[in-house]
Structures are given as structure tokens and as C-alpha cells.
Amino acid sequence: RMATMANHTFASRTDVCIWPVETVQFSYGGELKWATVQAPFLPHPTTNKIFVKIEPNSGKPCVDDPVVGRYQHLLAAVTRGLDLVRDWQGYGVSQQQFLDVCEAFAVRGQSVTQIKVRKSARLRQQTQVLVVIDPVLTTYNAHFETNNPTDFGVKAIDEWKFNHDCVRCRCKYFHLLSANVSEHNADGMQFGIADPDQRFFDVQSMPREMFDAIQTCRQQLGIWCGDDCFEEDEEEHEEEEEDEDQS
């Protein structure tokens, strides 16, 4: 949902797609087990596209891509500093090639709907899709979870913040406030707190419809924005559920 909102709200040369993964349950050794399955994303060998892993949480990134950094900042801001997409790995291909692969593996419904399909073949060739394969959603409170060796919570988020450069990634284009302390953002981007008065976007420069799209996405994802933030919508939803139960 965040990828879909970002691609359809912010005009950019690059879209991001979280490659579809499904969770399945199966019987193994007489016990029910869970596993994830996904269609492979395989660009044609002649395109010379390679699988790249970007590690923003283990010292210096091996590939320091400013576009990836900006999307990580954006998605973290949408969650109000409660989550961060890490283990960013996959391919960067033209949109036309992305559409061709989706067609080959019959996953148009799960993947193409995330991106903004350009209106001409020329534009589809010029624009790029970042295909993120099986990323890790780092949560602010992972240190309270057990048996979770791949999610390092606040530590991982702080490491990303140390490496991130808002100027280099041009985060202001997405109306993002600086992750670090600046004259325009006295507190910087503080993770894991999500107080109602925390600001992650420059609402003064941002069009109203853009902020509304972000708030709608937050509501759909259940991101806490204050006890009374979505009160009217929640009351309306509860009334609809009561009407359905009565019918």
C-alpha cells in the first residue's frame, strides 16, 4: 500500500515495487508449517541486469543509491518513524522490462497495480522500477520480540539514520523534513516515538491532496496518529459494521 501510494502521489523517474510474496501453509512430517513463495523476477540475460543487495544497516552500504535512500526515508515517514524497510535487494529495470517480466510470470495483478504505468512506450523505456524482493520491515519495538534474529529494531533504524544524507538523496522533493537536526527541523527524525506533534513532512510546501493521500494510507495501515485522529471515520466504520450485523 505504501509503494502504491508513493508511486501514484509523487512524480518521479523511478517507481518502487515490493515484489509479491505469498504465505502458504503445508504439511511436513505430520506437522503444519508456514512458508513464503514468490515468482522469480528474472530480466532477460541480454539486458545485463544484475541482482543488487543494498545494506543500509551494517556499516557503510555496499551500494549507496540515493533513490533507494529517499524511498526508505519516505516509507519511514509514512509510518511516522515506527518502521523502516531494510535488506533492500533486487533489480532496477526499465518500466517496459518490468511489465514484460510481470506478464511472463502472470503477476500483473499483484505488482503492476503498485506502479504508475507511463502512457507511452518511450516513457516506459525511460523510467525505472526498483523491484524490491523480500525486504525486511524493521519495527521500532523488535527488541521486545523473541525469535526474531533478522530485525534489530531501534539499533538498525539508528544505523540507517547515521548513513542517510537528505541532501544527497534530495528528500525535499518528497516534502520530507530532514532526518537530522536542521534549521527547518529542530528535532530531526526521531524513530519509535510517534508523538502527535511530531512532523515528518513539510506540510507548508506540500499540496493538500498529497498529504490527504498519506493520511489515508496511514489509516489503512493502522498507523497511530493520535487517539482522536481518525475518530469520525472509525465511528462511521463501526456503524456500518453494526448495520451489516443487523441485516
pLDDT tens by residue, the chain, 247 residues:
999 999 999 999 999 999 988 788 889 999 998 888 888 899 988 888 988 888 655 555 567 899 999 999 999 999 999 999 988 889 999 999 999 999 998 888 889 999 999 999 999 999 999 999 988 888 888 878 766 655 567 777 888 888 899 999 999 999 999 998 888 888 889 998 999 999 999 999 999 999 999 999 999 999 999 998 887 655 554 555 555 565 5
The tens digit of pLDDT for each residue in 125-145 reads 999 999 999 888 888 888 787
End-to-end CA distance of the chain: 31
3-state secondary structure 152-200: CHHHHHHHHHHHCCHHHHCHHHHCECCCCCECCECCCCCCCCCCCCCCC
User: How far, in Å, are 9, 71, 180, 210, 217 from residue 6 at the CA level?
Assistant: 5, 9, 22, 10, 10
Residues paired with residue 11 on neighbouring β-strands, in sequence order: none
Cell numbers for 175:
516534502
Q: Which amino acid is at 196?
A: P
Which residue, 43, 81, 113, is CA-closest to 179? 81
How many C-beta atoms surround the C-beta of residue 126 within 10 A? 13
- Adjacent-strand bridge partners of 132: 18, 90
CA distance linking residue 132 with residue 19, whole number of Å? 6
- In a 3-state reduction of DSSP, which class is residue 14? strand
CA distance 85 to 6: 14
The long-range contacts involving 192-199, CB below 8 angstroms and separated by at least 24 positions, are 192/81, 192/82, 192/140, 192/141, 192/154, 192/157, 193/81, 194/80, 194/81, 194/82, 194/224, 194/225, 196/225, 196/226, 196/229, 198/80, 198/81
Q: The whole model's pTM is what?
A: 0.86
For 5, the 3-state DSSP assignment is helix
Cβ-based neighbour number of residue 203 at 10 Å: 14
The CA distance from 25 to 136, in Å, is 21
CA distances from 157 to 58, 71, 179, 180, 223 (A): 11, 14, 11, 13, 18
Residue type, 92: G
